């Protein structure tokens, strides 16, 4: 999120590997692309869960949100045509929409609207864990950690449990900040190679 060149490198890498996927069955090809997209979005959420984002001023929050929006656009420009050429229609939640919603939440200026915004976010993504939501709220410069904790706990009790998307549930459960964002390329690319090899073997 702090280095705009990283997402560019990732997107170019995905496009380069497309030549290796062309001989795969359509369903396998789609599975690989979905897996890559999932892992990339998970890295962004991990960065937030790792508390690597701190905003001491409102303009810094806006700058982070703008970077997120730009990265979402870059990812959509990369993935949407690839899915379209495979005639794949995503019947679930578009994963990049998660980052879009996070960006909108970060830019919220009125502290008095926080409770409503947190509740709105939870209604949209009931899969979101309490700890992740707390960390996301705690990024703000205008609330203390104790306030962030109280707000998230109150919202979790207010919204309660609802039916959830299994993919999104897995995504938020993975957001525990166990890896550094700088490792995204080193992590994703080898996994792509291994997954392609396994897919070829199983054909």
- The phi, psi pair for 111, rounded to 5°, reads -60, -30
Number of domains within the chain = 1
Instruction: Write out pLDDT tens, residues 58-113.
Output: 888 899 899 999 999 999 999 999 999 999 987 667 899 999 999 999 999 888 89
Domain membership flag for residue 16 = yes
Cα separation, 150 vs 104, in Å, equals: 21
- The phi, psi pair for 202, rounded to 5°, reads -80, -10
Look-up of token digits 């009931």: 126
Instruction: Write out pLDDT tens, residues 8-46.
Output: 999 999 988 888 888 889 999 999 999 999 999 999 999
Domain membership flag for residue 66 = yes
Domain membership flag for residue 30 = yes
What is the domain range of residue 145? 7-192
User: Which CATH number covers residue 183?
Assistant: 1.10.357.70
Instruction: Write out pLDDT tens, residues 138-184.
Output: 988 888 889 999 999 999 988 877 778 899 999 998 886 444 444 44
**192 in Cβ contact with 32 (< 8 Å):** yes
> Which tokens is 122 given?
């939870």
Domain membership flag for residue 184 = yes
3-state SS assignment for residue 188 = helix
Domain membership flag for residue 1 = no
Domain membership flag for residue 140 = yes
């Amino acid at each position: 999120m702090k280095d705009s060149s990283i997402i560019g490198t990732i997107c170019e890498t995905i496009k380069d590997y497309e030549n290796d996927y062309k001989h795969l069955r359509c369903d396998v090809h789609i599975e690989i692309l979905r897996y890559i997209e999932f892992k990339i979005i998970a890295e962004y959420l991990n960065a937030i869960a790792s508390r690597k984002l701190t905003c001491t001023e409102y303009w810094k929050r806006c700058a982070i949100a703008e970077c997120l929006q730009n990265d979402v656009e870059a990812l959509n420009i990369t993935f949407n045509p690839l899915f379209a050429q495979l005639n794949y229609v995503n019947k679930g939640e578009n994963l990049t929409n998660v980052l879009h919603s996070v960006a909108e939440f970060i830019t919220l200026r009125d502290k008095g609207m926080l409770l409503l915004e947190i509740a709105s976010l939870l209604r949209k993504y009931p899969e979101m864990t309490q700890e992740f939501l707390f960390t996301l709220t705690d990024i703000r410069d205008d609330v203390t950690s104790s306030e962030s904790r109280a707000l998230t706990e109150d919202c979790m009790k207010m919204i309660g449990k609802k039916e959830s998307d299994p993919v999104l549930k897995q995504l938020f459960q993975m957001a525990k900040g166990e890896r550094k964002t700088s490792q995204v390329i080193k992590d994703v690319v080898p996994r792509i190679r291994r997954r392609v090899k396994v897919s070829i073997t199983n054909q």
